[in-house]
C-alpha cells in the first residue's frame, strides 16, 4: 500500500514558513506583502478558488485585494485595472482568475501583467526564465508538486519521469522542473501512441490530464511515485482525480490523494511567490 503525500500537512508547513518570514519583513522593513486577485463573472469553481486564496492571505499576514468584476466586463476595462495594479506599490502580486468570459482574451491579459508581479508565472518572460532555469517564480501547481516530492524525500535525479498532459499551466512547466532536477522526462498527451507502455516505465508519474480516473493500475509500474494533479467530479458529485486511487495505491510507493494532495499546495506556493515578489520589488534578499 502506497504512502500518502499529504498536501494539507505540507502546505501548512509552507504557509507557516511564509507567515514567519512575513512577520520578519514587517518588523525589519515595515513591508506587508499584498496580493490582488481579480475575478470576472460568477463561475462557482473560480469563486471557491478566490475565497481559498483570500483565507490563505489572512493566515500568512498578507494584504488581500479582491476585484470582483461583472460577467460583461470588457477587455479594455480589465486591462485598465491591470495597469492600475501594476502601478500600485501596495500590490506585489497580481492574479487574474481563469477562465475569463469569452469577450476577453486571456493571453492579452496575462501579457499585460508586470512580470515582476506575475505570481502565477504565466507571463512569457517568466516562462522563458523557467526554461533556462533562472527564475524568481514558479507556476504554483508544478512548484507544489516538487515540494510534495521533497517532503517525502523522493530523489528525481536519474529517474524516469512521465508527465501526462502538456498544458502551459501544469504539463510543460512540470516537465521542465523535473528536467532541472536531472530527471529523464517524457511528456505524453492526447496524440501519444502506446501511452500505457510509456507510463509503465515511469519511476515518477504525474497525471495532469483532466479526466476522472484516467490512470489505471495497469498503467503504473510497481513501486512508482504517482502524483495526481487532476480535480474531477464523478456523476454522483464526489471529487476524484485523474488516477484510480484505490487500485493504483496498491502498486505505487507514494501517491497523492484527491482532495488533500496537490490542491492545497497550489495555494501555499502562491503565498510563497507573493512573498518573493514583495522582497524583490523592495530589493530585499
Q: Could you list the active site residues?
A: 53, 97, 120
Sheet of 34-40, strands arranged across: 63-69, 34-40, 93-96
Angle in degrees, CA 245, 262, 209, rounded to 5: 65
CA 57/CA 62 separation, integer angstroms: 5
Distance, CA of 269 to chain centre: 7
CB atoms within 10 A of CB 122: 23
Nearest to 256 by CA among 140, 143, 148, 141: 148
CB 136 within 8 A of CB 284: no
H-only helix segments in the chain: 7-29, 44-60, 75-87, 106-112, 124-132, 140-151, 171-180, 195-199, 245-248, 262-281
- Neighbouring C-alpha atoms within 13 Å toward the C-beta of 76: 0
Give the C-alpha distances (Å, rounded to integers) separating 72 from 12, 38, 107, 207: 37, 14, 18, 35
Angle in degrees, CA 156, 160, 164, rounded to 5: 100
CA 215/CA 193 separation, integer angstroms: 15
Helix (H), strand (E) at residue 93: strand 93-96
Amino acid at each position: 500500500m502506497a504512502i500518502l503525500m499529504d498536501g494539507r500537512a505540507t502546505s501548512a508547513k509552507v504557509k507557516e514558513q511564509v507567515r514567519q518570514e512575513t512577520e520578519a519583513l514587517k518588523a525589519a522593513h515595515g513591508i506587508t506583502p499584498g496580493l490582488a486577485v481579480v475575478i470576472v463573472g460568477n463561475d462557482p469553481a473560480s469563486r471557491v478558488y478566490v475565497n481559498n486564496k483570500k483565507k490563505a492571505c489572512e493566515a500568512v499576514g498578507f494584504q488581500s485585494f479582491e476585484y470582483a468584476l461583472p460577467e460583461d466586463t470588457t477587455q479594455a476595462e480589465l486591462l485598465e485595472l491591470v495597469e492600475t495594479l501594476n502601478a500600485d506599490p501596495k500590490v506585489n502580486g497580481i492574479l487574474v482568475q481563469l477562465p475569463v468570459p469569452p469577450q476577453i482574451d486571456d493571453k492579452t491579459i496575462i501579457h499585460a501583467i508586470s512580470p515582476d508581479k506575475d505570481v502565477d508565472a504565466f507571463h512569457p518572460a517568466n516562462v522563458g526564465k523557467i526554461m533556462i532555469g533562472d527564475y524568481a517564480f514558479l507556476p504554483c501547481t508544478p512548484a507544489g508538486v516538487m515540494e510534495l516530492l521533497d517532503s517525502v524525500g523522493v530523489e528525481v535525479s536519474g529517474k524516469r519521469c512521465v508527465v501526462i498532459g502538456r498544458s502551459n499551466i501544469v504539463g510543460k512547466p512540470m516537465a521542465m522542473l523535473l528536467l532541472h532536477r536531472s530527471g529523464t522526462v517524457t511528456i505524453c498527451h492526447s496524440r501519444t501512441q502506446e501511452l500505457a507502455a510509456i507510463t509503465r516505465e515511469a519511476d515518477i508519474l504525474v497525471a495532469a490530464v483532466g479526466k476522472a480516473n484516467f490512470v489505471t493500475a495497469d498503467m503504473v509500474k510497481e513501486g512508482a511515485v504517482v502524483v495526481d494533479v487532476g480535480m474531477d467530479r464523478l456523476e454522483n458529485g464526489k471529487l476524484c482525480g485523474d488516477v484510480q486511487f484505490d487500485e493504483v495505491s496498491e502498486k505505487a510507493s507514494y501517491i497523492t490523494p484527491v482532495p488533500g494532495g496537490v490542491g492545497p499546495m497550489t495555494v501555499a506556493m502562491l503565498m510563497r511567490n507573493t512573498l518573493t515578489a514583495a522582497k524583490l520589488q523592495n530589493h530585499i534578499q
